[in-house]
Every structure is written in structure tokens, then in C-alpha cells.
Amino acid sequence: MGENIGVIKKKFEEAGTEELAALYEEYGADERTGVRTLISKYRRKEEKLAAERKRLKAMHEFEERYAGCEFICGIDEAGRGPLAGPVVAGAVILPKDCEILYLNDSKQVSAKKREELYQEIMEKAVATGIGMASPGRIDEINILQATYEAMREAIAKLGVVPDVLLNDAVTIPLVPICQVPIIKGDEKSVSIAAASILAKVTRDRLMVQYEEILPGYGFAKHKGYGSKEHVEALKRLGPSPIHRETFIAGILGR
């Protein structure tokens, strides 16, 4: 009888990339189902990891284009569309050799994974900044201008001055830094994707807190977006202090 499968499994669990290649060769002729399954499992994991690294490499196109710059900053926002709550902007400068696996546009990532990515970004980033514009400010100057204000605040809170800004689709007024607006930038740039994650997680956490202060609207669930549940609660309870009056006027017939 060959080596105990439990022992072989432990070898695979503890192996690095180079050691895995040696294990494939060592146990490649073992015909036992458990060993064959184990080898297939780790080959699939390696293939998945290789595909992920290839995807991430493609998301470094703009970072590589501006590699001569010391500080490349990604900018994105969360919360332009909701009926309630602030709009939040994130600004992130990542190290040039930084790898954050499965980093992507926040809308493409589960809530659980976003939280994990948030922690990793905060640990690895050279600098981060968060800016917000309140519902009242959104009503006062409109959502686009409020978004720009939040982005300027996020940049100001970085603690360093970026050499270039990679923005998700917009050019921010009153910012004397080179800007590169990228359509669907959160899918094409790791820096913008990281900013997207920070903005989204920050805003979602805030909306969960609002649910505790202003129960009945379902803020923790829909995060202020115009879901059927939210609209029904709005009509039943009336607007809360964090609702955007300019967004809900039509719903309430004002």
C-alpha cells in the first residue's frame, strides 16, 4: 500500500508553488481515487490563480502607462443613485508592486468579499482618503457637484499629493493634478477598483448604522436605493432626515 492519503494531503496543503510541481511529479502515477482527486483539486486552484493574475495584470494597464509617477491615485464614488444617505468618494494610492487578489469593481464583488478586500487595501495602501457629501448638500448643489466635492475631500485626506489621478469616468473640477478619466475605470484599473471598494464599504457601513437610528426604512438592507420596500416605507413613514428631497419629490408627489 502506498503512503497514507492523509499524509499526502498535508504535504499539498503546506506546499508552495514550486513544491506543488514536485508533488505532482511524485504522486502523478498514484492511481488511488483520493490522490487523483487531490491532484486535480490543486491543479484547478493553480489554474484559477493563474487566470486571476492574468486578469489583474490587464487591470494594471493605466498604472503601467503612468509608471513614471511616484503616486498614482485611483478615485471612485459610491451612492450617486440612492434616495437617502450621503455620496461617498474614495481615493487610494497602492504600492507599485502591490497584489490584491480578486480586487474588482465593488459591484462585481460580494458584500463579504468587499469587507475582506477593504481590510487588505487599508493594510497595503500607501495612502487612502474618504470624502462625503451629505443629503442636504446634494439637494443644495446637485448630485454631480456634491460628488465632485466628496472626491476633492478624499484627495485632500490622502496626506500626500498624487502625481496623477485615475478617475472613474469623470474629470474633477478645481483639482490642479493631472487627471485621466477612464470609462468603466473600476473594471480597468486596480487603483480605481480599490477606491470603489473603500467608498462602497464605508457607505454601506454608514447605512447600517442609520438603520439603528432610523428604523423602519430598511436602510441596512437596501442601503438607501429605491427598492420597492424602501419606496413603500417612504410613503408610509414619510421622509427621514437623511432622505434627499430632490430625489424623492416625485415619489411623494411634491
Q: Give, for all 254 residues of the chain, the pLDDT tens digit.
A: 568 888 888 889 888 777 887 888 888 888 888 888 898 888 898 889 889 999 999 999 999 999 999 999 999 999 999 999 999 999 999 999 899 999 999 999 999 999 999 999 999 999 999 999 999 999 999 999 999 999 999 999 999 999 999 999 999 999 999 999 999 999 999 999 999 999 999 999 999 999 999 999 999 999 999 999 999 999 999 999 999 999 999 999 87
Domain boundaries, the chain: 5-58, 69-203, 210-248
pLDDT tens column, 34-76 = 888 898 888 898 889 889 999 999 999 999 999 999 999 999 9
Q: Do residues 184 and 169 make contact, with C-beta atoms less than 8 angstroms apart?
A: yes
Q: For the range 43-50, what are the long-range contacts, defined as Cβ-Cβ under 8 Å and sequence gap of 24 or more?
A: 46/17, 46/20, 49/101
In the CATH hierarchy, which top-level class contains the domain 69-203? alpha beta
Residues 214 and 208: their CA atoms lie apart, in Å, by 10
Q: Do residues 46 and 140 make contact, with C-beta atoms less than 8 angstroms apart?
A: no
Strands of 127-133's sheet in order across: 127-133, 87-93, 72-78, 164-168, 178-182
Residues 39 and 237: their CA atoms lie apart, in Å, by 58
What is the model's pTM?
A: 0.89
pLDDT tens column, 227-240 = 999 999 999 999 99
Instruction: Return the bridge partners of 93, or none.
Output: 73, 127
